[in-house]
Amino acid sequence: MNSTQKEIIHIIGIGGIGMSAIAEILHNFNYKVQGSDVQSNDNVNRLQKLGIEVYIGHSANNIRQAQIVVHSSAIKSDNVELVAARSNNKIVLHRSDILTEIMKDKYVIAVSGSSGKTTTTAMIASIFDNSGTDATVIVGGILNSYQNNSKIGKSEIFLVEADESDGTMLKIPVNIAVITSINDDHIDHYGTFDGIKNAFSQFINSADFAVLPDSVDISHGDCATFGLENGNIRASNIKQHNNSMEFDVLIDNNHRIKNVVISNAIGMHKVSNALAAISVAVKLGISDAAIKKGLLEFKGVARRFSFIADIKGVKLIEDYAHHPNEIQATLTAARSITKGKVIGIIEPLRFARIRNFFNEFIQVFMMFDYVILTPVHPPEDKPISGYGIGDIRKTLISNGFSNVKIMNDALLISNFINDSTNLGDVVLFIGAGGNIAKLARETVVFMSEVEV
């Protein structure tokens, strides 16, 4: 691929967080890009303002002028545009194929892992931005510093968040491979936990250098390990402040960076993310001062423990967590900033995931003071009998946890919060979908009106 080519590239699901970043990168590299999605969203609006044509709704007509059609694993094989592309002998590429082409002959730092990869990628980007390292960045979230999920850099360095959910991180040409964590997510794709570990092992062993949590039992000949207690790069003297974490970093038992502060971060898992980012910076020879400045200037990532309002002393926070371990980490972070109640307004992701982790979800939901369940995301996901939000509620009640409701109306939720909270309490809007984000925004509006 090169910028003199004039083929039209059509991206199915262009409004997705990963696909919209690819669309913008291609557009900035002077490719002709268009796309489609089932509905408009902020990513679609941003792309349209750049002059990228976006069709709302899928139709075979949308791809008539395109020579190349790009899809992700989220697009089903019977998608009308995908079927039409193959029937008409269009070039059909997976998103990972396009990423591979974009990054050919570049110096690639790829961040993958079961959780924490978006925040870690964002922290590395912030360190780069404050050290004069002008990298191109592609990330699976909206970085508050960019108000975007991508940035075009002038150097040969590409920093990319690599998707582990379907194994496509294995297609990316990698110089530095970063793994943030490994858990038993995406069993449906990998079959077993050993299958997940083997994929991550292949990922790091395709790279020149690896950054790994000290807790994982996979290895690489040339690597840095990080951890809160062990590893080449570890943290000590950890202190939590109102909206930041402070700690010292010990590198190879002989070099210490004192008083590192991560702004816009709460929770020990954020310290772990920062250690992974620092490991990359140390490998690249970035100075201690630039590392400290990058983390101090870290603006956070939208929907990653993001404060969205403080109404009458009740903090409303939004988080993208959708695996039981992630939800527990988010709850732990919330507990660390309040002695009051924590209410979880939770949007489960996919019925298969509820089935795979049903008992784990029940255990973590019982750690909240109250839980409000909203419909499963995505709305078109096919229900699995026995694993809906009604089944979760019934099981919680049978286990003695009665503080659980099912709601999907922001006015009702705001009334519940007003009636059930006191000064210092925390409300968490948890989930990866658009509905929970919409409910969070609307709830803030209703509660603000009551406050006035």
Active site residue ranges: 117-118, 161
Block residue for tokens 């082409």: 101
Block residue for tokens 């590192």: 260
Which residues share a beta bridge with 68?
A: 9, 91
Q: Is 370 exposed, middle or buried (0-12, 13-18, 19+ CB in 10 A)?
A: buried
Which residues share a beta bridge with 310?
A: 315
By the 8 A CB rule, do 57 and 36 touch? yes
Residue 54 token pair = 């976006």
C-alpha to C-alpha distance for 197 and 219, rounded to whole angstroms: 11
C-alpha to C-alpha distance for 37 and 84, rounded to whole angstroms: 16
Q: Is 330 annotated as a binding residue?
A: no
Dihedral angle, C-alpha 389, 398, 353, 218, nearest 10 °: 150
C-alpha to C-alpha distance for 294 and 285, rounded to whole angstroms: 14
Block residue for tokens 């709305």: 379
Q: At what angle do helices 324-335 and 358-365 cross, to 10 degrees?
A: 10
Q: Is 114 annotated as a binding residue?
A: yes
Q: Is 285 annotated as a binding residue?
A: no
C-alpha to C-alpha distance for 411 and 12, rounded to whole angstroms: 34
CA angle 388, 428, 333 (to 5 degrees): 115
Residue 372 token pair = 């409000």
Q: Which of 279, 309, 278, 312 is nearest to 295 (CA)?
A: 278
Kindly list the distances between the CA atom of residue 26 and the CA atoms of 10, 21, 101, 103, 161, in Å, as whole numbers in the listed order: 11, 9, 11, 11, 17
Q: Is 119 annotated as a binding residue?
A: yes
Residue 375 token pair = 């419909």
Residue ranges of the annotated binding site for ATP are 113-119
